Amino acid sequence: MLISREMVLDQDIGLNGTLFGGDMMARMDMVAGITASLMSRNRRFVTLKVSELIFHSPVRPGEIIEFYATISRQGRTSLTIQIEVQVYAPVTDSHRDVTSGEFVMVAVDGEGQSESILWKPEAIQEANRAHETRKARQAGRKIPG
Ligand SMILES: CC(C)(COP(=O)(O)OP(=O)(O)OC[C@H]1O[C@@H](n2cnc3c(N)ncnc32)[C@H](O)[C@@H]1OP(=O)(O)O)[C@@H](O)C(=O)NCCC(=O)NCCS
């Protein structure tokens, strides 16, 4: 599901004239945290693990980036979230893959100890539906209903 849409500004740009990788990682981490919160009734999540982070193509100032999240695993105290970042060009109504990565987020209590996740089933269903719709659209298939 689409979690956020942001614009890249001059101040976000690194030495190569493109978005600094650490900036992108921070944005993805924030999106992973937001996603975990949207899917549950827990107050706090921490990032346990980031894997398969791939920068597919650079992002330039003025470009709009979209963050999509898919729940790939629901555990007892953790969830695994696949984050895909794309540049969206409104003029051509087109997308370009820029970054993807997998984030494991753990629910923690006030002492920082892991705690059970109180899932919001309707939010999970909505996220799964959004994922299927997006994949079908990308594959060029018509969505029923
Ligand atoms: C996250 C943290 C609370 C987990 O503590 P812990 O005692 O290892 O927790 P647990 O053993 O109870 O495991 C918690 C969950 O992580 C999962 N987990 C542990 N190690 C894992 C690994 N290497 N890969 C994937 N999942 C892992 C466990 O399976 C469990 O999930 P589940 O209940 O859904 O099955 C602790 O490691 C921590 O505080 N880390 C620092 C977090 C942080 O500060 N992040 C910001 C980075 S700057």
| C-alpha 51 – ligand 1 centre gap (Å) | 14
- Per residue in 91-142, pLDDT (tens digit) is 999 999 999 999 999 999 999 999 999 999 999 999 999 999 988 988 886 5
Angle of CA points 44, 34, 43, to nearest 5°: 20
CATH at residue 122:
3.10.129.10
- Does residue 143 belong to any structural domain of this protein? no
Q: Is the Cα torsion angle 108, 100, 93, 6 positive or negative in sign?
A: positive
Residue among 29, 48, 113 to mutate when testing ligand 1 (max atoms within 8 A of CB):
48
Q: Do the beta carbons of residue 98 and residue 85 sit within 8 Å?
A: yes
Range 121-133 burial, b when 16+ CB lie within 10 A, else e: eebbeebeebbee
Q: Whose CA is closest to atom 47 on ligand 1?
A: 47
Cβ(25) – ligand 1 distance below 6 Å: no
- Does residue 133 belong to any structural domain of this protein? yes
> Which residue range forms the structural domain that includes residue 66?
2-138
Q: pTM score, two decimals?
A: 0.94
The number of beta carbons lying within 10 Å of the beta carbon of residue 46 is: 14
| C-alpha 90 – ligand 1 centre gap (Å) | 39
Cβ(114) – ligand 1 distance below 6 Å: yes
DSSP states of 70-86:
EEEEE-SSEEEEEEEEE
Work out how many domains the chain is built from and give that number.
1
Separation between Cα atoms, residue 40 and residue 118, nearest integer Å: 5
Taking the CA of residue 113 as reference, the ligand 1 atom at the shortest distance is 3
- Does residue 144 belong to any structural domain of this protein? no
- Per residue in 64-85, pLDDT (tens digit) is 999 999 999 999 999 999 999 9
- Does residue 145 belong to any structural domain of this protein? no
